[in-house]
Structure 1
Amino acid sequence: MSGRQRIAIVVGTRPEAVKLAPVVRELQRTRWAEPAVLTTGQHGAVVRNTLACFGLRPEAELAPPANARGPAPVAELTAGLLSSLGSRLRATDVHAVLVQGDTSSALAGAMAAFFAKIPVVHVEAGLRSGDARSPFPEEAHRRMIAELSDLHLAPTRAARRNLRAQGVAADRIVVTGNTVIDAVVAASRNPCHRTVPELREMEQDSVPLVVVTAHRRENWGEPIRRVGRAVAVLSRQYPDVTFVVAAHMNPSVRTAIEESLRDRPNVRLPGPIPYDAFARLLSRSVLAITDSGGIQEEAAAFGLPVLVTRDNTERTEGVDSGLARLVGTDETEIVAAAEKEFAREGVLDARKPDLPFPRPNPYGDGRAARRCAAACGWLLGLAPKPSDLTDQET
């Protein structure tokens, strides 16, 4: 590995593991990079298992902050992450630090690198909802990470416009597409039943599937309960549709979404689902009901309509393209929006084609990780700057 540039990739949560795994793989293929995955303990074993879906293992697993496996206050979580990451970076020779998105781990990683005078690369830079308190605390995290970053890897042109509006220099931005498209299509090729036997029956038959998730901090409590009650109503109205509730690892969040659904015969409650199985499930579904930003993007890889149970979204491209619709957490709105989707011709009549990119994807072309890796090489003076994603309007 002599002469290679050591790049630390900070991974704290499952979405970070998903979106950074393709970048790590691309860095491994270069002649100049020595990627080192550092996991922060924020999502514990779930991150380790998700990385394994892509054939990756962390170089170092940092001790999780106190209460990291529960609903720790954001300030305490961030302080613990910053301390552990700062110690690790000071003890190793690192030439650049990659962070992704808007988690506490991403913010702490960017801050630790900045304090150590190490260049910061922000993957999925430039998402903005326009409201600093929604989603909380992610929107504020994004803005702060932008101030600390040396290279901004924007997933879309809209994200680039947001960065320019914040004052980021144009020559510090590369539009790459979103790496989640690379990840979800690759992962969806693994059969569900290999990792989740409970999903074997759904893999074999042609029953229409609806994927449901809920986890956003601003939705904790009654909003998530309303989502659960809306799904219960839909399960009664559409007995031939199977609703799969992919629960969050936080037990209180899981209880809130599941409490109205436990006795419904066409509702499956498998608990947290490994990423490759979840990707396969998305590829087979006819609708997603979710407050997840990542699923809004992942669903687009399969042309899957999404009902977004939030009041706003930073993934505006999906809304603009017609794939996503903001419905909030009002039970009546969710039910009405789902009824409208089910009424479209053919939605409930046949098995969904298992093909990626059935329509133009607003989030990229599946080659984002390659551009991200090349951009890191350019930042370090080891490779030419890659061209922006230019083959589709975003």
Structure 2
Amino acid sequence: MFNPEKKILIVFGTRPEAIKMAPLVKEFQKYPERYNLKVCVTAQHREMLDQVLSFFDIVPDYDLNLMRPGQNLSQLTADILLGMKGILEDFCPDFVFVHGDTTTSMATALAAFYNQTKVCHVEAGLRTFNKHSPFPEEINRQITGRITDLHFAPTSKSSENLLKEGTNAENIVITGNTVIDALFLAQDKLKNYEDDEIKYLKSLELTQNKVILVTGHRRENFGEGFINICNALKIIAEDKDVLIIYPVHLNPNVQKPVKEILDGIDNILLIDPLGYPAFSWLMGKSYFIITDSGGVQEEAPSLGIPVLVMRDNTERPEAVDAGTVKLVGTNTETIVREAKSLLTDKEVYDAMSLAHNPYGDGLSASRIVKAINNVGE
């Protein structure tokens, strides 16, 4: 019998999760007669999370507000488990939605399991099969996957990973990645949107240079990895036709080598982390991107922007196979070589920028809602 009001709880805690869950929140909100939707944020990140909520006009129903200075993974996991217990008992959802590979997702899934509530995993099935890379995300994702009832896999490759692990095929739906939905929503909103960060970026007159956008934050790159990355950027900046824009992550393990090696170089602009609207705008103006981010690997190909990934492996191999992304690790010589190739060889650049994006068509959220709509009919 069709239940006209399924109770849905969507939980996230970091900026990347918020970006990728925003289209799903918006899609469920289209059908208030079918779904009683509530949104919970753990605030594993705080300020960056709030920027995304504001941009997409999402007001959480529950806010655990857990971010603490110097917070460690053990304490965060415990706080999420205890905080989610009360929310699950208060709302009694039919389905709890979590996303990807964060500590929020893993701990929320475990709390939902303890509450005997069905878990839905968005962006399910990504794997490196190396439990230390990315750390702790790979194990967060695998634990979440073992608990999950409905797996929303972005690609056929991620679905195959789940099947190899013994997941019932009836519980897997290939949807595409909601990050593409979010990107399309953002690009549409940006036509009539301008905040102080975007005004500042526009003042730089970026069309005068080939802009290289850089992001980096992975724990496994702390230390020698970031030193190598910074040395590579310093060499790339010897080409004065290039403007490197680097929104520097606030973690001291990132700030220290970046400031020591790159501060004071004329055509390297070190700026504070950008909000999602400004970052999306800047991606669209970039010649190519150097990053260790997972989400950027998925977003940039939809804009025709090549990506060099500063990691030795990736749980997102589809873009590597498609040719839109290239793994360069943290080796200085490799980063410099591949960056210079993109800057000087049009054939190499076109081969990456014109490649097909394997991550979706912007309709992932609607496929997920349709799948939930069919549950229990």
TM > 0.5 fold call: yes
Q: Secondary structure at the match of 1:269?
A: strand
1:245/1:267 contact within 8 Å kept: yes
- Could you tell me which amino acid in structure 1 is paired with residue 16 of structure 2? P
AA partner of residue 166 (structure 2): G
CA offsets per residue over residues 97-118 of structure 1, 9 Å max, x none? 0000000000011011111111
Structure 1 pair 56–271 and aligned structure 2 pair: CA distance change class (3 A): same
Stretches of structure 1 lacking an aligned partner (at least 5 in a row): 383-394
My pick for the range that moved more, 2-11 or 131-140, is: 2-11
Q: Following the alignment from structure 1 to structure 2, what is the Cα–Cα distance between the partners of residues 347 and 302?
A: 17
Give me the whole-angstrom Cα distance separating, in 1, the residues matched to 2:44 and 2:135: 17
Q: Which residue of the partner structure matches residue 313 of structure 2?
A: 312
| Alpha-carbon shift at residue 305 of structure 1 (Å) | 1.1
Cα–Cα, structure 1 residues 113 and 323, in superposed 2: closer, same or farther, change >3 Å?
A: same
Task: Give distance in 1, aligned partners of 2:128 and 2:205.
Answer: 36
Structure 1 residues 349-388: aligned runs within 5 Å: 359-379=355-375, 381=376
Inter-CA distance 371–3: structure 2 relative to 1 (3 Å threshold): closer
The residue number in structure 1 matching 2:37 is 35
1:332 alignment partner in structure 2: 333
- Aligned mates of 2:287, 2:77 — CA distance in 1: 38
Look up the equivalent residue of 1:219 and give its one-letter code: N
Q: Distance in 1 between matches of 2:248 and 2:363?
A: 30
* 1:197-218 per-position Cα deviation (integer Å, ceiling 9, x unaligned): 3212246634321110111111
Q: What residue number does 1:131 align with? A: 130
Which amino acid is the alignment partner of residue 58 of structure 2? L
* Aligned partner letter, 1:164: L
Q: What is the match of residue 77 of structure 1?
A: 76
Q: Does 1:243 align with 2:249?
A: no
- For residues 18-67 of structure 1, the C-alpha deviation after alignment (integer angstroms, 9 at most, x for no partner) is 000000000101231122111102101221211211111211211315x3
In the alignment, what sits opposite 2:263? 262
TM norm structure 2: 0.92
Partner of 1:281: 282
Which residue of structure 2 aligns with residue 231 of structure 1?
Answer: 233
Q: What corresponds to 1:13 in structure 2?
A: 14
1:45-60 map, 5 Å: 45-60=47-62
Write out aligned runs for 1:107-118 (5 A).
107-118=106-117
Please state if 1:294 is matched with 2:290.
Answer: no
| Cα distance in 1 between the residues matched to 2:259 and 2:347 | 29
- 8 Å contact 2:211–2:245 — kept in the other structure? yes
Q: Matched residue of 1:260: which SS?
A: helix
Deviates more, 1:98-107 or 1:220-229: 220-229
Deviations 1:131-156 (A, max 9, x none): 12211111111111111011000000
Mapped contact 1:121–1:376 kept (Cα < 8 A): no
TM-score (norm 1): 0.88
Q: Mean alpha-carbon deviation: is it higher for 131-140 or for 119-128?
A: 131-140
Matched residue SS, 1:288:
strand
Change (3 A) 1:76 1:376: same
* Code of the aligned partner of 2:236: L
For the pair 1:341 / 2:342, whether they are aligned, the reply is yes
Q: Kindly, what percent of the aligned residue pairs are identical? A: 40
- Write the deviation string for residues 156-186 of structure 1: whole angstroms up to 9, x where unpaired: 0000000000110000000000000111122
Deviation, structure 1 residue 288: 0.8
Q: Is the 8 A contact 1:193 1:203 kept in 2?
A: no
Give the letter for the 1:38 counterpart.
Answer: C
3-state SS, counterpart of residue 234 of structure 2? helix
Assess if the C-alpha contact under 8 Å between 2:44 and 2:65 holds in 1: no
Structure 1 residues 368 and 284: CA distance shift in structure 2, 3 A: same
In the TM superposition, what whole-angstrom CA distance separates every residue of 1:216-273 from its partner, at most 9, and x where no partner exists? 111122212221221111112x212111112223344233334322211112222110
Give the distance between the partners of 2:116 and 2:93, measured in 1 at CA: 10
Shift of 1:77: 1.8
Distance 1:327 1:205, change over 3 A: closer
Q: CA deviation at 1:193?
A: 5.0
